Every structure is written in structure tokens, then in C-alpha cells.
């Protein structure tokens, strides 16, 4: 993907939950938020992190790969769709397969729920709901060039390691140039960014 996409800048997140509220207003899933705001050390710190689907490219969408009902489709432009409600059986395979901990199961409806990059908007050139309301730019929608022009000196990470497994994503994280070690969603320490060892 990595044309126009979401860039997550954790250092800018203030935990205001505007993204969560805006996500509930999206026409394709009105009333349910597909973005998760995680508090990294709740009760001890105000640090927070918006967690959206990373739209894995390589390997292609682990959540879709393990779906026994073929309910999770990937568009030609790399957007991993939310599970098709007519096919999803609520088995939670996708929940267990996602390295970023994104998909959730609505136990009452027995359906998988996750961010689909507001495809009803982004397919027509509009920004996702979450990025349109983020007051600090922690969720930035655009190209890498637009981001780097606005925020000189940042690096962009779209490749993450989980043990021996490397995952390349269609959504990227912003990494300050002077701080290359940070936790990925889920709290695992990053030791490689885009294939480069960053351990000190």
C-alpha cells in the first residue's frame, strides 16, 4: 500500500479519545469503534497509543490467512477488510493470528470487528474518520513525503519483528530520529526497524 495511508505517531497521542468517538460515526459500522486506545501503563502514566489495523502486506494479512470461512478479504490496494458479516463464524482465529492484537470479537453478535481504514471514505480520497479529528496529528493520513515535509527528522517504520518473524505493513509508525527504540502495539520491544538492527 504505502501510498496514502495512516501514519501513527505515538509521541503525539494525548489519550483524548476523539479518534474513538469519530470511529463510532463511520457509516459502515455506526455505533461501534474499530480503533482501540491503549494506555501503556494505566494508573501510573498518561501515555496512550491509538491502535488501528496495520494492514499487513508481507505476510499478507495473517488474520485473513487463518480465516476458515474466507470472511476477511484484502482489496487490490492492500486494505484488509473487516470480516464479511454473512461469512464470519466468530471463531476468533483472526484474533489469535494478528501480531498487533487488532481484531476483536463481538461476543453478542459473534462477529469479528476491526478497522478497515474507513474504506468507504479512503476509496474516494477522503481521510479516515480518526485522522480527521485527531487534534495533535498522532493519526496522520497522507503520503510518506507529505508527513516528512511536515515533520522533518522523523523516520517511518513499516517493518516489525516478532521473534524470528518479520511483518511488513501498509500502515506505518513514526519514529523520532533520536529515539529508535520504542514498543510496538502489544508491548514487544522493537529490535529491528525496516530490517536494521537498532539495539544499543
Cell numbers describing residue 147: 508527513
Cα–Cα distance measured from residue 118 to residue 53, given in angstroms and rounded to the nearest whole number: 11
153: left (phi over 0), alpha (psi -120 to 50) or beta: left
In whole angstroms, how large is the CA radius of gyration of the chain?
16
CB atoms within 10 A of CB 32: 15
Within 10 Å of residue 147's Cβ, how many Cβ atoms? Answer: 19
How far apart (Å, rounded) are the C-alpha atoms in residues 67 and 72?
Answer: 7
Query: What whole-number percentage of the chain has pLDDT above 90?
Result: 48
pTM for the predicted model, two decimal places: 0.83
Residue-wise pLDDT tens digits, 88-130: 999 999 999 999 989 998 888 888 889 999 988 998 989 999 9
Note whether 95 and 112 are within 8 A (CB): yes
Q: What is the pLDDT of residues 23-41, one digit of tens each?
A: 998 777 778 888 988 888 8
Q: What is the pLDDT of residues 153-178, one digit of tens each?
A: 888 888 888 877 889 999 999 986 66
Task: Please write the tens of the pLDDT for every residue from 175-189.
Answer: 866 655 444 444 444
Amino acid at each position: 500500500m504505502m501510498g496514502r495511508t495512516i501514519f501513527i505517531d505515538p509521541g503525539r497521542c494525548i489519550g483524548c479519545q476523539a479518534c474513538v468517538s469519530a470511529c463510532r460515526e463511520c457509516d459502515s459500522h455506526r455505533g461501534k469503534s474499530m480503533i482501540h486506545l491503549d494506555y501503556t501503563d494505566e494508573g501510573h502514566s498518561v501515555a496512550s497509543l491509538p491502535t488501528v489495523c496495520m494492514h499487513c502486506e508481507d505476510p499478507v494479512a495473517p488474520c485473513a490467512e487463518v480465516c476458515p470461512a474466507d470472511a476477511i478479504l484484502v482489496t487490490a490496494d492492500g486494505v484488509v477488510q473487516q470480516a464479511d458479516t454473512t461469512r464470519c463464524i466468530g471463531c476468533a482465529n483472526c484474533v489469535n493470528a494478528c501480531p498487533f492484537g487488532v481484531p476483536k470479537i463481538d461476543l453478542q453478535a459473534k462477529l469479528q470487528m476491526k478497522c478497515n481504514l474507513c474504506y468507504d471514505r479512503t476509496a474516494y480520497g477522503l481521510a479516515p474518520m480518526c485522522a480527521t479529528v485527531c487534534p495533535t496529528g498522532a493519526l496522520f493520513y497522507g503520503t510518506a513525503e507529505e508527513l516528512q515535509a511536515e515533520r522533518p527528522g522523523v523516520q517511518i517504520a513499516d517493518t516489525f519483528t516478532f521473534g524470528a518473524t518479520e511483518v511488513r505493513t501498509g500502515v506505518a509508525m513514526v519514529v523520532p530520529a533520536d529515539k529508535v527504540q520504542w514498543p510496538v502495539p502489544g508491548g514487544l520491544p522493537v529490535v529491528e526497524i525496516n530490517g536494521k538492527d537498532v539495539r544499543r
